[in-house]
Chain A
Amino acid sequence: MSKLPLIIKREFLSRVRNRTFIVMTFLSPLIVVVMITLIAWLATLNEDAVKKIAIVDETGMFVQDFEDTEGVAYADYTAMTLPVAKEAVVAEELYALLYIPKTASTTELTTAVRLFAEESPSYGVLRQLEDRMNERLTAQNYQAIGLDATQIKAAQQEIAIRIEDFAGEQTSKMANYIKMGFGALAGYLLMMFIVIYGNMVMRSVIEEKTNRIIEIIISSVKPMQLMLGKIVGTSFAGILQFLIWVLLGTVLLIVGTLVFGTTPEPTVIDPAMAMSEATPNIKNEIIAFIAEVNKLPLGTLVTAFFIYFVGGYFLYSSIYAAIGAAVDNETDSQQFMLPILFPLILGVYIGFFVVIENPHGTVATLFSMLPLTSPIVMLMRIPFGVPIWQVVVSILILIGSIIFMVWLASKIYRIGILMYGKKPTYKELFKWLKY
């Protein structure tokens, strides 16, 4: 006659029946879709604003090279002197003024060019300006020493190195980005899940305390059983929510494909890209992308994702449960949030900055073993191919830590749930461990 399933069932149902849960489950995907649309829309808005740049070219060498592009329009102000041009640019509210002075030599010119702008210009614009002038000067230099620029251009080669591991699996540059993307997504999702559902566990413990039902319950079941039932029941609710999202995502994707047509090329390729050399590659790139995704250790990734998901959640939610037991209301819980949030955020940062740079370095390896950060960091490392023994060791450490943490948390929990009207300190929590 085990009571654990009863508790799990109640916790699961009370989570799932909650109005917030239902709303969040069906609203979140909508919010995500709206957000993505909004971001995409804002991005196009940004591109639409054409930047006007005035040019005062005293050398007369470059001005014809600046052809209008999609985002930038050029105007020749060479007729004016620099001070007049400056005033004109300010008066007409142009984006910037490029000033190319007459110099004795080309070498001098390389450092003499000035760009006047109210705000510091975007990197893309600056790069464009420099490229144009470099091209012109290089061509001029070729000419000066008697080289044919067109022949040089024809002779130039571009190498695309294909990356292959020793097992013979091919990857490409894109693969790295995909791996980063998958890792980052998994790590970030895990963090969100832990924070959201850990908080749910904590709130539910506090609710039992403030409703004063806790003592009635624990005269029937062990506090440890109640805590475990709560954590497991809540995790089921989380998994259900996640499954619904996956399902909704799939449906949305299918609907999206049907609505926007099965041949996305005409809408996807904009005129600028069509003009560039990229056109024939787009289809190939999509195929390559899918191929790359398929080449990821998907089986391992999904399994690991699930294990670390559940493991990380158990580890943290037992801490959340202990905190919930120690305090009387949610406001008081703030002081204990730091030990939870710090390792989580550390994990994400290490994932974003260290793992992506050097997925198998010492720091990345270390933090993918330490239990509080391992779920996030290891998930981010796995797409880059982690030796199986490391994954196993990391999971074993995680499981050991969960057992230890649940034991530790249950000690605080069983004392805390019977304490009312006290705002405990860390010192007191430590004392409870010894009761």
Chain B
Amino acid sequence: MAHLLEVQQVSKQFGAFVALNDVSIAVPKGSIYGLLGPNGAGKTTLLRIINQITLPDTGSVLLDGAALQPHHIQDIGYLPEERGLYKSMKVGEQALYLAQLKGLSKKEAKERLRYWFEKFEVSHWWDKKIHELSKGMAQKVQFIVTVLHRPKLLIFDEPFSGFDPINANIIKDEILQLREEGATVIFSTHRMESVEELCDHIALMDRSNKMLEGEVTAIKKEHKTNRYEVGLVAENHDAVYRTISSRFECEPADFKTIDTQLKIKISLDTGTPNDLIGFLSQHAQITRFHEIIPSVNEIFIKTITAHE
């Protein structure tokens, strides 16, 4: 698969502090790429390097196969974590200014802004000042400005922090729509569960290093432990548990049910799930059976602890 963005062995140091240590990532064209990691992992520094706000000490960044050039800022739409707008400037004027800074002509910018303002039903905001708008309203304006110049690469740093659920959904849908139209999207966040379902590729970062990268499905396959969560109904729960635990590695599970059930997590070392189901059905009624797929969060914690 062709890569839109390639970061190659980038390192960055601030004084004695190492912000990025030999980090490489490759973002496939048309993907939704999650850059995940706790606060202070170096995500924002990496994004700033991609946006040419900061220069790397060593390493290089390729966009569409070419080394980053000043003109590439037109190809990137970046919504930083620290985002705001001029408080005392009118919305329309401000959006025009920011669009022109991205290289759009005034006429073009106006036309596209009109389209987006109508789409979000905010045309009447044009002559308002930012401090007259609510936070959610201002965020819509920021989003419009980020995507207005139709960049190939969209970068959102902590995209949904501060959005109310309704706006977050609107924005999410717009982002997916833009991906359909050919844009590549990078989400950077420390709240991994918030983007897990959206991303098809992820990279995990921790303390200036990239720990893991790849397709989400592949990573999950790699990290799955063949464990199954089952719910059983039998006459004697203790007896059934003893029987099962004599053959399989078991531990109690916890999930909500409407009646009393035996809840177990079972590790399957050999054999197929069908074998397990067959075995269980001899002893009890099966009310629940599903494979435990690790969440990205769990994979992350596992990866980190494995390194320590």
Instruction: Give A contacts to B, CB under 8 Å.
Output: 1, 3, 6-7, 10, 14, 18, 207-208, 211-223, 418, 420, 431, 434-435
Contacts and interface: CB of A to CB of B under 8 A. Distances in A.
Given A10-B97, A216-B145, A211 B78 contact: no
B107 to A, nearest CB: 15
A10 B101 CA distance: 11
Interface of B: 14-15, 48, 51-54, 70, 73, 76, 78-80, 82-89, 97-98, 100-103, 142, 145
Given A212-B83, A216-B83, A219-B78, A6 B51 contact: no
B73 A216 contact: no
A428 B14 CA distance: 11
29 contacts: A1-B103, A3-B101, A14-B86, A18-B88, A207-B86, A211-B86, A212-B84, A213-B84, A213-B86, A215-B53, A215-B78, A215-B80, A215-B82, A215-B83, A216-B78, A216-B79, A216-B80, A216-B98, A216-B145, A217-B98, A219-B51, A219-B52, A219-B76, A219-B80, A220-B101, A220-B102, A222-B70, A223-B53, A435-B15
B160 to A, nearest CB: 17
A428 to B, nearest CB: 9
Contacts of A431: 15
Contacts of B100: 3, 6
Contacts of A6: 97, 100-101
A222 B51 CA distance: 11
A217 B146 CA distance: 11
A14 B88 contact: yes
A2 to B, nearest CB: 11
Contacts of B83: 212-213, 215-216
Given A14-B86, A212-B82, A435 B101 contact: no
B113 to A, nearest CB: 16
Contacts of B89: 14
A169 to B, nearest CB: 53
Of B51, B79, B101, B145, the most chain A CB neighbours within 10 A belong to: B101
A77 B83 CA distance: 84
Contacts of A219: 51-53, 73, 76, 78, 80
Given A14-B89, A214-B82, A220-B98, 14 more contacts: A1-B103, A18-B88, A207-B87, A208-B86, A213-B85, A215-B80, A216-B78, A216-B80, A217-B98, A219-B78, A220-B101, A418-B48, A418-B54, A420-B82
Contacts of A218: 53
A10 B84 CA distance: 17
B274 to A, nearest CB: 54
A223 B52 CA distance: 11
Contacts of B79: 216
A1 B100 CA distance: 10
A347 B86 CA distance: 37
A211 B86 CA distance: 6
Nearest to A434: B15
Given A14-B89, A211-B87, A418-B53, A217 B82 contact: no
Nearest to B85: A213
A220 B48 contact: no
A218 B76 CA distance: 13
Contacts of A208: 86
B288 to A, nearest CB: 47
Contacts of B103: 1
A216 B85 CA distance: 9
Of B53, B73, B88, B102, the most chain A CB neighbours within 10 A belong to: B53
Nearest to B15: A431
Nearest to A220: B101
A217 B78 CA distance: 10
Nearest to A210: B84
A435 B101 CA distance: 26
Contacts of B54: 418
A3 B104 CA distance: 11
A211 B53 contact: no
Contacts of B76: 219
